[in-house]
Amino acid sequence: MKGALKPNLVKSLTSSNSSSSLPRPHKLPLFHFHTNTKPHFVAKLRTCKDLASAASTHSNLLKFGFSNDTIATNHLINCYLRLFRIDNAQKLFDEMPQRNVVSWTSLMAGYVGQGQPNLALCLFRHMQGTFVLPNEFTFATLINACSILVNLEIGRRLHALVEVSGLQSNLVACSSLVDMYGKCNQVGEARRIFDSMCTRNVVSWTSMITTYCQNAQGHSALQLFKEFNHSGLDRQNHFMLSSAITTCASLGSLGAGKITHGVVIRLGHDASDVIASALVDMYAKCGCFNYSSKVFRRIPIPSVIPYTSMIVGAAKYGLGILSLQLFQEMVVRRIKPNDVTFVGVLHACSHSGLVDKGLELLNSMNGKYGVTPDAKHYTCVADMLGRVGRIEEAYELAKSVRVEGDEYAMLWGTILSASRLYGRVDIALEASNRIIESNQEVAGAYVTLFNAYALAGDWENAHNLRSDMKHTGVYKEPGSKKMLSLLRELEERMKERGYVGGTKGLVFVDVEEEAKEEVVSLHTEKLALAFGRCHNQNT
């Protein structure tokens, strides 16, 4: 009979040993032996760290008749999922005579964890055809799948099911809903759910803080972080601290960043790879690259994330040689670069004029490092070529790659800017037409093309283009009134100190000198200066 023990084995287990000090046990019935061994196998599965041990325990479960036991099989499924053997987990699941909510949820979580959220949602549709009802962990797993896919429609349906199931105040389900709505840029809905929660923990607070941070509402994120700190409800974990530091980076708020860094040190999270990477990025964006370097060099075993943050930070400061040195250090330490690492190092080559090295890196990405170049990398290289006047090469590169949407506009916008700078009106015309046809950044394309015509002295086409802009209703958005007011204030102070404005080469139409000064006063660099002043006043 399947699962039965051999008589001599039972005898050996129940017989006494004269040399033993233990009392003589009573003969145990077979079913009692099974009851005692099942927790042992479950414990082994919970601590299993390799496939060989999992297979051995799986074999023993079959040998002792647990092949149809739902709880034991659930633990075996989870063990295979931890070892990234979802094929084994799926096969076990398919063979189960009886599945409970843990069986379904475990496999769904496995697919989400291995980057296949669509399969998790598909599995849930099959589950709905059974008598098994989802619990809060099922919903949290599925809502997480929607977060990854940024699928608001299915996310809303799951939210409705959460309400119908009576879990509208459940901590686990609601925390996942806050995160999902945040990923889908629905900040208001995320906040409404957060406010409606009867109880909150560090996870729910972190989800809301991250939602604000990811949706360019940094001040609200920091305010909520302060509220959590003053509430005394729980201790900040490294995810919350990382979000707060990222927020400080996006705001360029060095003071708040240093305060948060102090909290990190006080709570002993300064060794965290994720937090260290966020600190490196924050200090670089706040203009303190030396601090970035100090934080980075204190990381015992840095991974690709802090290395990439340093490479990107060095690139932004024009330290191309340092970026390349850090990249080479990564390679020597056998740390595999990712796509973001290559964006950073190509950006460094672009801003440091290291064209040949940049082209060498682009050509080696796929074959040597297993990273396929995408639109971001090609845009960096196009910018790199354009900066040194190699417009034809940049143009041919742009034509040879296939990109869509915003990335398409970014690539051809780079070609448009470079061709305008070097007076290549023919390439500028094609680049602007491609951008206009894509319906992305149309106003900027028109303005840049107008400037290209004007710089080349082609006034007829310049005026015709301006007429077309008026006819189609295309216009460049002006800066805010506050920015313009600050800009005029700065202009007056500069004149008081002897500044004499220049207009030569910056205004391409025949207008009065006073009007020229007005146009020049709204030049991009000066607008950036005014924006910086506005930003500092707000922070």
pLDDT tens, residue by residue, 466-497: 666 666 655 555 556 666 676 677 777 777 77
Question: What average pLDDT does range 330-336 have in this prediction?
Answer: 94
Burial of 48 (0-12, 13-18, 19+ CB in 10 A): buried
pLDDT at 393: 93
pLDDT band at 450 (very low <50, low <70, confident <90, very high): low
DSSP structure class, residue 24: P
How much is the pLDDT for 423? 81
**Residue whose structure tokens are 């977060």:** 147
Residue type, 311: I
Higher pLDDT, 109 or 20: 109
Give the mean pLDDT of 174-193: 96
**In the chain, what is the greatest distance between 2 CA atoms, to the nearest angstrom?**
116
For 20-77, the pLDDT digits (tens) are: 333 344 444 444 444 447 777 788 788 888 888 888 888 878 777 787 889 988 988 9
The answer on pLDDT for 84 being more than 70 is yes
pLDDT one-digit tens code per residue, 359-382: 999 999 999 999 999 999 999 999
Q: Which of 73-77, 161-165, 343-347, 513-517 has the lowest mean pLDDT?
A: 513-517
Provide mean pLDDT across the span 504-522. 44
Domain ranges (residues) in the chain: 202-301, 480-533
Query: Above 60 in pLDDT, residue 96?
Result: yes
pLDDT of residue 31: 42
For position 28, what pLDDT does the model report?
Answer: 40
Q: Of 15-29, 107-121, 497-511, where does the model show the most confidence? A: 107-121
pLDDT of 459 over the 70 cut: no
Task: Please give the average per-residue pLDDT across 252-277, as a whole number.
Answer: 90
Q: Is the pLDDT of residue 498 over 80?
A: no
Q: Quickly state the pLDDT bin for 401 (edges 50, 70, 90).
A: confident
Exposed/middle/buried for residue 170 (C-beta within 10 Å: 0-12, 13-18, 19+): buried
Does residue 11 surpass a pLDDT of 70? no
Which has more pLDDT, 447 or 238? 238
Whole-number pLDDT of residue 536: 53
Rounded Cα–Cα distance for residues 203 and 129 (Å): 32
pLDDT value of position 405: 73
AA identity, residue 286: C
Summary mean pLDDT of the chain = 81
Q: Is the pTM of this model over 0.75?
A: no
The pLDDT of residue 514: 42
Q: What are phi and psi of 336, to 5 degrees?
A: -75, 125
Q: Please give the full DSSP string across 338-399, using - where no structure is assigned.
A: -HHHHHHHHHHHHHTT-HHHHHHHHHHHHHHH-----HHHHHHHHHHHHHTT-HHHHHHHHH
Mean pLDDT of 116-135: 95
Q: Return the structure tokens found at 8.
A: 């001599």
Q: Which of 116-120, 160-164, 497-501 has the lowest mean pLDDT?
A: 497-501
